[in-house]
Amino acid sequence: MQDYSVLKRSFLTVRRSWLLVLAVLLRAAAAHAQAPAALRGTVTDSLSGQPLPGVRVGLLGLPGGTSTDALGQFRLLRLPAGTYRLQLGALGYRPHTKTVTLVAGETRGVEASLATTALNLAEVTVSQPRDPNQTLAPISHIDQTLRPVNSAQDLLRLVPGLFIAQHAGGGKAEQIFIRGFDADHGTDFAVSLDGLPVNMVSHAHGQGYADFHFVIPETVEQLKIYKGPYTARFGDFATAGAGEFLTKNSLDHSQVKLEVGRFNTYRALAMVDLLGTHHLFSKKPESAYVAAEYNFTNSYFDNPQHFKRFNGLGKYVGQLSDKTSLTLFGSYFTSSWDASGQIPDRAVAEGIISRFGSLDPSEGGNTNRSNAYAILTTALPHDATLRQQVYYSHYFFNLYSNFTFFKNDPVNGDEINQRDTGRNIYGYTGTYDRDDYLGSKALHSVLGLGTRIDDAGLVLRHAAQRVPLDTFNIGRLYEQNINAYLDETLTLTDRLTVNAALRADVFVFQFRGQRADSAAGGFVPLSGRVTRGRVSPKLNFYYQVSPAVQLFVRSGLGFHSNDARGVVQGSGSFQALPRAAGAEVGSTFKPVPSLVVNAAFWTLRLQDELVYSGDEGTTESVGPTQRFGADVSLRWQLVSWLFADGDFNFSHGRLVQAPEGENYIPLAPTFTSTGGLSVRAPSGLNASLRYRHIDSRPAQEDNAIRARGYFLLDAVLNYTRPRYQLGLQAQNLLNVQWNEAQFATDSRLRGEPTSVNELNFTPGTPFFVKATASLFF
């Protein structure tokens, strides 16, 4: 009997155990039956086989969506079981759709390739799910497809609302105007190429100096524009905005090109695909190419400019594995020129020189820059991507300028020599990019870390006919920036997305040298070391009213650094990292399928502004400023072959601490506009007629001297066949007299008893025509 009881208890125990196991298995089966599915895939270019980043990915009938990452990969997670229509699209590529059936708990992989096609604005979408801060992406994508680009200046003009002025005939970096800023050569607009910074800190000629001439325009494939200080990825100089230029990963074909124009203008270009179907490091898709250009012109000045520039570039992009890609890049740039410089109105009015003459023909200079970088991009577990970049630049700059002529030295003149000798730039940037969920809400996170070191010799000297006479200051610069940021994009609802970010920067300013001091009868130390930091929060909201209408509200703090020589001296109110506080509200929308419009109303307050000081060839602080304005951009496909575009930019800015009537911001633009008509015929005939207009504006704080506005017309005509292209370009079709660079400068001509403060200018190009011919192979 006792044995039976033991047996019965054992049976019941085993039975309960099996029932428990069965219950667990049933629950697991039920959970699996209800488990969400996932869709993962990779999108490539059908011609090159290279991954395509930024492709829009969505499911027909469902809100939201995503876009491909740097490896061309996408992820759509937490999908109910069912049958879907996957939609892939990118501007300039044929839309791709595919039916996909998902079962519960399944992760389905999809491979897709996109083929190029004719531009169709009806396919343009107004949302950027992976990078919502790129509100101008639809506009910039259209511009890159339609507008002919044949110079580094043309590349900068692709930024809506950005104007440039050249006052050394093409040798120096351009003067940049955007959102009510005379940003000089880049003080308040950050420029980068493939993540390589272009702006120079504590440069011999000016803070933020951004010489973009080392870029071969035909190698640039994409431009990303970020106006205002709202994006955490950008720190120094990104107050009015930032422009990211990206070079091609591969060539559709090899090419040679020749250009011939007025004023002894010549240009030769060669771009050669090195690999073709061969492989170098991997059996997966690889590409490698080299490009080189040579420019020469005497320009339209009375004194021949003898401008020479050479650019060389090489790039390799390869898929080392399904989860890793490698990019290697190297370039070299060198340039030399003679410049006519800026001249005073009275010198032309009195017949001393012509509009295209020069008061000091010895102006000019030479510069060169070498660049190298490597990028390793790796797909990590948990839907993350790690991108790491190291870069190096070696730079030299030597410039002779004369702004005031004989004001300071009536015998030898006031020519100055600015030298940036042997600058070395070392840098690293790393980003950890991850798709996740916060509860049921999709969360995209980016963690960034970087550093940049500038090590350079800086010299400012007095010269005559390029012969140094004495030294104003000389020394060695060491400046380092260490930065980190966290950027979070949370999809709160199917329509509402919030982007919040925090960026931290630490700067070490160090200069060891000396400066001339007349009171001391010689040189005094110009040395010191200062460490300063900035924390810059950002908060942005995006609301998708419909597939054709997106609203946005954006805000953030930013900054620009100041010259290390001024920081270590601590002179006056000179701020090391003056803060910029900005906000804007606007919309990107399509009132009709073929019309894309972007409109924004913005405001920006800068804690301390730098303006150009023509009499010293340096920069000076004028205190805080306040600006507000409106930007409107539209792109319209009138018929299949005819496109219209227009950018209209209004701004109002004032010095905050100056009295009324003396509080104008010198050279700050008040109204600018660009636009035109473009023809793209199936026969291969492409043409464009474009205008540029900038309004007259104050040249000094009391508005007594005004920089003169202008309106110009340019035209381009190209005929393209599979094996060749022929083209004709014309600038200033109406041959108007216009001033390109303009300053209110206190200058004295030889023999004048006193100096005169008036408008000094560099004349803009007269009617100019250039013919081009290209062969493709």
pLDDT at 70 over 80: no
- The DSSP call for residue 52 is -
pLDDT digits (tens, 9 = 90+) for 285-309: 899 999 999 999 999 999 999 999 9
Looking at residue 60, its pLDDT comes to: 84
pLDDT at 29 over 50: no
How many other C-beta atoms are found inside a 10 Å radius of the C-beta of residue 323?
14
Q: Within this chain, do residues 62 and 12 fall inside the same structural domain, yes or no?
A: no
pLDDT digits (tens, 9 = 90+) for 474-486: 999 999 999 999 9
In a domain, 263, yes or no: no
Report DSSP letters for 615-674, one per residue. TTTEEEE---EEEEEEEEEEEEEEETTEEEEEEEEEEEEEESSSPTTS-BPTT--SEEEE
Rounded to whole angstroms, the Cα distance separating 160 from 363 reads 32
Q: Within this chain, do residues 335 and 476 fall inside the same structural domain, yes or no?
A: yes
In a domain, 50, yes or no: yes
Looking at residue 497, its pLDDT comes to: 95
Q: Residue 535 — very low, low, confident or very high, per pLDDT cuts 50/70/90?
A: very high
- Picking from 530-534, 548-552, 610-614, which range would have the lowest pLDDT averaged per residue? 610-614
pLDDT digits (tens, 9 = 90+) for 424-459: 999 999 999 999 989 889 999 999 999 999 999 999
Q: How many residues are present in the chain?
A: 777
Report DSSP letters for 195-255, one per residue. TEE--BTT-SS-TTB---TTS-GGGEEEEEEEESS--TT--BT-SSEEEEEEE-SS-SS-E
The count of domains in the chain is: 3
In a domain, 298, yes or no: no
First to last CA, the chain: 98
Cα→Cα distances 530→425, 482, 504, 510, 533, Å: 19, 14, 17, 7, 10
Q: Within this chain, do residues 629 and 687 fall inside the same structural domain, yes or no?
A: yes
Residue 766 CB contacts under 8 Å (≥ 6 apart), including other chains: 300, 732, 735, 737
Q: Last residue of some domain: 56, 86, 117?
A: 117
Percent of the chain with pLDDT over 90: 69
Q: Within this chain, do residues 719 and 662 fall inside the same structural domain, yes or no?
A: yes
Q: What is the pLDDT of the chain when averaged over all its residues?
A: 90
In a domain, 676, yes or no: yes
Looking at residue 614, its pLDDT comes to: 40
In a domain, 274, yes or no: no
Looking at residue 383, its pLDDT comes to: 87
In a domain, 126, yes or no: no
Q: Within this chain, do residues 541 and 430 fall inside the same structural domain, yes or no?
A: yes
pLDDT at 759 over 70: yes
Rounded to whole angstroms, the Cα distance separating 369 from 410 reads 36
Q: What's the CATH number where 547 sits?
A: 2.40.170.20
Q: Residue 571 — very low, low, confident or very high, per pLDDT cuts 50/70/90?
A: low
- Picking from 195-209, 417-431, 532-546, 600-614, which range would have the lowest pLDDT averaged per residue? 600-614
pLDDT at 248 over 50: yes
Of residues 291 and 494, more confidence is placed in: 291
pTM: 0.90
Q: Nearest 5°: phi and psi at 346?
A: -65, -30
Looking at residue 9, its pLDDT comes to: 54
Identify the helix (H) or strand (E) that includes residue 2.
helix 2-34
Q: Last residue of some domain: 57, 83, 117?
A: 117
Q: Residue 169 — very low, low, confident or very high, per pLDDT cuts 50/70/90?
A: low
In a domain, 269, yes or no: no
Looking at residue 217, its pLDDT comes to: 94
Q: Nearest 5°: phi and psi at 14?
A: -65, -40
**Alpha-carbon torsion angle 297, 298, 301, 304, nearest 10:** 160
Using a 10 angstrom Cβ sphere, with 0-12 exposed, 13-18 middle and 19 or more buried, the burial of residue 531 is: exposed
pLDDT digits (tens, 9 = 90+) for 634-647: 999 999 999 999 99
Domain of 87, in residue numbers: 37-117
Of residues 29 and 5, more confidence is placed in: 5
pLDDT digits (tens, 9 = 90+) for 321-349: 989 999 999 999 999 999 988 999 999 99
pLDDT at 740 over 90: yes
Looking at residue 202, its pLDDT comes to: 94
Identify the helix (H) or strand (E) that includes residue 514.
strand 496-517
Rounded to whole angstroms, the Cα distance separating 532 from 23 reads 63
Asked whether the beta carbons of 221 and 245 are under 8 A apart, the reply is no
Q: Nearest 5°: phi and psi at 424?
A: -115, 130
Q: Within this chain, do residues 672 and 768 fall inside the same structural domain, yes or no?
A: yes
Of residues 456 and 172, more confidence is placed in: 456
Average pLDDT value for residue range 49-78: 83
pLDDT at 30 over 60: no
In a domain, 283, yes or no: no
- When computed from its CA atoms, the radius of gyration of the chain, rounded to whole angstroms, is 29
- Picking from 151-155, 172-176, 264-268, which range would have the lowest pLDDT averaged per residue? 151-155
Q: Last residue of some domain: 85, 117, 149?
A: 117
pLDDT at 8 over 60: no
Looking at residue 618, its pLDDT comes to: 56
Q: Nearest 5°: phi and psi at 13?
A: -65, -45
Average pLDDT value for residue range 371-397: 96
Cα→Cα distances 743→19, 347, 403, 407, Å: 90, 15, 10, 16
Q: Within this chain, do residues 613 and 545 fall inside the same structural domain, yes or no?
A: yes
pLDDT at 760 over 90: yes
Q: Within this chain, do residues 610 and 741 fall inside the same structural domain, yes or no?
A: yes
pLDDT at 266 over 80: yes
The secondary structure of the chain in percent helix, strand, coil, rounded to multiples of 5, reads 10, 55, 35
Q: Within this chain, do residues 446 and 474 fall inside the same structural domain, yes or no?
A: yes
Token digits of residue 540: 């942005």
Rounded to whole angstroms, the Cα distance separating 154 from 161 reads 13
Q: Within this chain, do residues 6 and 47 fall inside the same structural domain, yes or no?
A: no
Relative to beta strand 189-193, strand 241-247 is: parallel
Asked whether the beta carbons of 435 and 75 are under 8 A apart, the reply is yes
pLDDT digits (tens, 9 = 90+) for 639-684: 999 999 999 999 999 999 999 999 999 999 999 999 999 999 989 9
Asked whether the beta carbons of 632 and 599 are under 8 A apart, the reply is yes
Q: Residue 106 — very low, low, confident or very high, per pLDDT cuts 50/70/90?
A: confident
pLDDT at 3 over 50: no
Task: Look at phi and psi of residue 67 and say left if phi exceeds 0, alpha if psi is from -120 to 50, else beta.
Answer: beta
Q: Residue 25 — very low, low, confident or very high, per pLDDT cuts 50/70/90?
A: very low
Identify the helix (H) or strand (E) that includes residue 477.
strand 467-491
Asked whether the beta carbons of 310 and 336 are under 8 A apart, the reply is no
For 86-141, the three-class secondary structure string (H helix, E strand, C coil) is EEEECCCECCEEEEEEECCCCEEEEEEEECECCCCHHHCCCCCCCCCCCCCHHHHH
Of 577, 553, 685, nearest in space to 228 by CA: 553
Task: Look at phi and psi of residue 123 and say left if phi exceeds 0, alpha if psi is from -120 to 50, else beta.
Answer: alpha
Rounded to whole angstroms, the Cα distance separating 561 from 188 reads 10
Q: Within this chain, do residues 83 and 189 fall inside the same structural domain, yes or no?
A: no
Q: Within this chain, do residues 29 and 62 fall inside the same structural domain, yes or no?
A: no
